[in-house]
Amino acid sequence: MDSKTRASLRRTALLDLQTRLLRAQAQQFTTSAVGLMGLPANVAASPKVTVYDCQNTTSIPGKAIEHPEKSKDGAVRATFDNTTGVASFFKDVFGRNSLDDAGMTLRSSVHYGEGYNNAFWNGSQMTYGDGDGEIFIELCKGSDVVAHELMHGVTQYTLQLVYENESGGLNESLSDVFGSMFRQWLNKETVDSADWLIGADILGTKAKSLGYDCLRNMADPESPKCLGRQISHYDQYRTGMDPHESSGVANLAFYKIAMALKGHSWDEAGQVWYNVVSTWGSSPNMTMQQFADATLHSAQALYPKKPAVAAAVHEGWDSVGLRPTVAYAGRKAMAS
């Protein structure tokens, strides 16, 4: 790895640490606000999508872009199109009106920093780096990446998962799951025709030349072709593990459940996942076992006449070391 790439990765890592702290503060504020005043009433029938240009600085949001849907800047147009697509996906598939389900504006900034190899949800908006061209290209050009980051916003307004330990792994997994579902929905793919890769569309020339084909692989979390390899069984989990690594357990469970059910990932499997996200309530320290139990409960509640759905959920989680049960106290047991 050359010195330029190493320097870019160091800058990215330092900025990412501060972003995590900022997002944690924003989530605490949301938790307090929702606890005091409840979820907001609809402020718009559908979310407005806005895009800003940081002009390779770290000043957020940057310069407002008028008519981003017509922009000749590829990053601006990709951000607008993908964000608009995600809003439609949540509305059409799950009946959700933006991240807060109340029509909040979806604000994004592009061209963040110099050679910034990441994208992030900071608690109030999305931000995308251009990549260094070696490891990543513009991150906004990955439809699953855009949906992944926006899903962090949905989680902030629903389960409110703390970004550490098992709840952190679940937080990351939810973003991968819904990011992958969106990419498949956009491409009209079935579970059998999808590649289940996360970040395949944003790899740079150096990463590809080294044999990498994605950031993560939901079907094979430990694949050596992943830039960010993950664990694939709960036995491998250790307290304090980075959420991007531990999320492989829940990712693989969803993949196996969706494959068993066939068709589209956003049908039964996706509906079960979304039902837990949208109805279970604030569960900041939710464990993977509790989430597995909640999905089995949800599968039985949503599809009482389709026992194959609950069976697939049970077998999928069992295969990654988390055998779910419906003998479960429910949402109050998770809120702590």
The residues annotated with a catalytic role in the active site are 149, 244
The answer to whether 196 and 259 are in contact (CB under 8 A) is: no
The answer to whether 160 and 231 are in contact (CB under 8 A) is: no
Q: Rounded to whole angstroms, how far apart are CA atoms 226 and 214?
A: 5
Q: Rounded to whole angstroms, how far apart are CA atoms 40 and 29?
A: 14
The answer to whether 100 and 40 are in contact (CB under 8 A) is: yes
Which residue type sits at 122? N
Q: Which residue has the tokens 């994004």?
A: 108
Q: Which residue has the tokens 């969706």?
A: 258
Token digits for 299?
A: 């599968």
The answer to whether 65 and 76 are in contact (CB under 8 A) is: yes
Token digits for 28?
A: 């605490």
R_g of the chain, CA atoms, integer Å: 19
